[in-house]
Amino acid sequence: MPVQDRTHEFIACVDSIISRSSIPSRRDAKQKLLQNGKSTTKSEFSRMASGIGKEISSTNLKLGKLSQLAKRKTLFDDRPVEISELTFIIKQDLASLNKQIATLQTYVKQKKSQGAKSEDGKQVDEHNKNVVTLLQSKLADTSVAFQEVLEVRTQNMKESKDRTEQFMYTATSAASQPPSNSVLFNPRGDPMGDGSLSRFDSKRPQNGDMLALNLEAAEEGSGSQNGGAFMQMQMVEQQDSYIQSRSTAIESIESTIAELGQIFMQLANMVAEQGETVQRIDADSHDIAANVSGAQRELLKYYASISSNRWLMLKIFGVLIVCFLVFILVS
Amino acid sequence: MVKIYSISVLLAPPSQTSTVLASASDLSQFSFYQKGSVGEFLAFFARTVVERTPQGQRQSVQENNYTAHVYNRGGAEQLAAVIITDQEYPVRPAFSLLTKILDEFIAKVPQSSFNNPSSISFPDVQVYVSKYQDPTQADTIMRVQQELDETKIILHKTIESVLERGEKLENLVERSNALSAHSKVFYKTAKKQNDCCVVM
Give tens-digit pLDDT for B113-150.
777 777 777 788 888 888 888 887 778 888 898 899 99
Residue A305: list chain B partners with CB under 8 A: 194
In a domain, residue B183? The reply is: yes
Average pLDDT over residues A102-115: 78
- Cβ distance B16 to B52 under 8 Å? no
How does pLDDT run across A36-57, given as a tens digit for each residue? 444 455 677 788 888 888 888 8
Residue B172: list chain A partners with CB under 8 A: 281
- The conformational region for residue B64 under phi > 0 = left, psi -120 to 50 = alpha, else beta, is left
A12 half-sphere exposure, CB direction, 13 A CA radius? 4
d(C-alpha A209, C-alpha A203), whole Å = 14
State whether B89 and B162 are in the same domain.
Answer: no
Q: Residue A270 and residue B180: Cβ atoms within 8 Å?
A: no
Task: Read off the DSSP letter of residue B106.
Answer: H
Distances (CA, A) of A2 to A5, A6, A47, A54, A57: 10, 12, 19, 13, 13
State whether B129 and B168 are in the same domain.
Answer: no
B194 part of contact set with chain A, CB < 8 Å: yes
State whether B121 and B151 are in the same domain.
Answer: no
The predicted pLDDT at position B197 comes to 60
pLDDT band for A192, please (50, 70, 90 cuts).
very low
In a domain, residue B104? The reply is: yes
Nearest-by-Cβ selection for B159 from A245, A253, A267? A267
Q: Residue A270 and residue B184: Cβ atoms within 8 Å?
A: no
The predicted pLDDT at position A185 comes to 42
Answer whether residue A205 shows pLDDT above 50. Answer: no
In a domain, residue B8? The reply is: yes
d(C-alpha A59, C-alpha A56), whole Å = 5
Residue A292: list chain B partners with CB under 8 A: 183, 186-187
Answer whether residue B181 shows pLDDT above 80. Answer: yes
DSSP B129-158: HHHTTSHHHHSHHHHHHHHHHHHHHHHHHH
State the CATH number of the domain containing residue B163.
1.20.5.110
Q: Looking at this predicted complex, what is its ipTM? A: 0.75
By C-alpha distance, the chain B residue nearest A243 is B92
A279 part of contact set with chain B, CB < 8 Å: no
Nearest-by-Cβ selection for A291 from B162, B163, B183? B183
Average pLDDT over residues A267-285: 92
Interface probe with A: pick from B147, B155, B170, most Cβ of A within 10 Å: B155
Q: Residue B155 and residue A298: Cβ atoms within 8 Å?
A: no
State whether B151 and B126 are in the same domain.
Answer: no
**Of residues A201, A127, A111, A190, the one with CA closest to residue A154:** A190
Q: Residue B180 and residue A266: Cβ atoms within 8 Å?
A: no
State the CATH number of the domain containing residue B38.
3.30.450.50
Q: Residue B152 and residue A264: Cβ atoms within 8 Å?
A: no
Interface probe with A: pick from B147, B161, B162, most Cβ of A within 10 Å: B162
In a domain, residue B77? The reply is: yes
DSSP H helical segments within chain A, as ranges?
Answer: 7-20, 27-38, 44-71, 80-114, 119-168, 173-176, 215-308, 310-330
Residue A245: list chain B partners with CB under 8 A: 91-92
The predicted pLDDT at position A62 comes to 86
Answer whether residue A35 shows pLDDT above 60. Answer: no
Residue span of the structural domain in which B166 resides: 144-196
Radius of gyration of chain A (CA): 49
Answer whether residue A287 shows pLDDT above 50. Answer: yes
pLDDT band for A1, please (50, 70, 90 cuts).
low
In a domain, residue B139? The reply is: no
Answer whether residue A152 shows pLDDT above 80. Answer: yes
Nearest-by-Cβ selection for A284 from B141, B155, B176? B176
d(C-alpha A218, C-alpha A220), whole Å = 5
State whether B57 and B108 are in the same domain.
Answer: yes
The predicted pLDDT at position A177 comes to 46
Collapsing DSSP states into helix, strand and coil, what is residue B85?
Answer: strand
Answer whether residue A138 shows pLDDT above 80. Answer: yes
d(C-alpha A28, C-alpha A34), whole Å = 10
The predicted pLDDT at position B158 comes to 93
The predicted pLDDT at position A253 comes to 92
- Cβ distance A238 to B59 under 8 Å? yes
Answer whether residue A258 shows pLDDT above 50. Answer: yes
State whether B113 and B50 are in the same domain.
Answer: yes
In a domain, residue B65? The reply is: yes
The predicted pLDDT at position B151 comes to 93
By C-alpha distance, the chain A residue nearest B54 is A235
Nearest-by-Cβ selection for B148 from A260, A288, A292? A260
Pairing relationship of beta strands B19-25 and B57-63 according to DSSP bridges: unpaired
State whether B65 and B153 are in the same domain.
Answer: no
Q: Is A306 exposed, middle or buried (0-12, 13-18, 19+ CB in 10 A)?
A: middle
Interface probe with A: pick from B52, B57, B58, most Cβ of A within 10 Å: B58
d(C-alpha A307, C-alpha A313), whole Å = 10
The predicted pLDDT at position B148 comes to 92
Nearest-by-Cβ selection for A271 from B58, B96, B162? B162
Count structural domains, chain B.
Answer: 2
- Number of other CB atoms surrounding residue A286 within 10 Å: 12
The predicted pLDDT at position A191 comes to 44
State whether B82 and B153 are in the same domain.
Answer: no
d(C-alpha B195, C-alpha B24), whole Å = 99
Answer whether residue B164 shows pLDDT above 60. Answer: yes
Provide the shortest C-alpha distance from residue A324 to chain B (in Å).
19
State whether B117 and B158 are in the same domain.
Answer: no
Residue A274: list chain B partners with CB under 8 A: 162, 165-166, 169
Question: What value, to the nearest 5°, has the Cα angle with vertex B189 and ends B186 and B194?
Answer: 130
**Of residues B88, B52, B90, B45, the one with CA closest to residue B68:** B45
In a domain, residue B100? The reply is: yes
A285 part of contact set with chain B, CB < 8 Å: yes
Q: Residue A299 and residue B177: Cβ atoms within 8 Å?
A: no
Please give the single-letter amino acid code of residue A199. Answer: R
Answer whether residue A32 shows pLDDT above 50. Answer: yes
By C-alpha distance, the chain B residue nearest A312 is B200
**Of residues A70, A290, A307, the one with CA closest to residue A185:** A70
State whether B96 and B156 are in the same domain.
Answer: no
Provide the shortest C-alpha distance from residue B14 to chain A (in Å).
17
State whether B73 and B154 are in the same domain.
Answer: no
How does pLDDT run across A60-94, given as a tens digit for each residue? 888 888 888 877 766 666 677 788 888 888 888 88
In a domain, residue B38? The reply is: yes
By C-alpha distance, the chain A residue nearest B152 is A260
How does pLDDT run across B49-86, given as a tens digit for each residue? 888 888 888 888 888 888 889 988 877 878 888 988 88
Q: Is A111 exposed, middle or buried (0-12, 13-18, 19+ CB in 10 A)?
A: middle
Prediction pTM value: 0.47
A54-63, A116-125, B23-32: segment of lowest average pLDDT:
A116-125
> Which of B137 and A292 is assigned the larger pLDDT?
A292
State whether B94 and B188 are in the same domain.
Answer: no
How does pLDDT run across A206-246, given as a tens digit for each residue? 444 444 444 444 444 444 445 555 666 666 666 678 888 88
How does pLDDT run across B91-117, given as a tens digit for each residue? 888 888 888 888 888 888 777 777 777
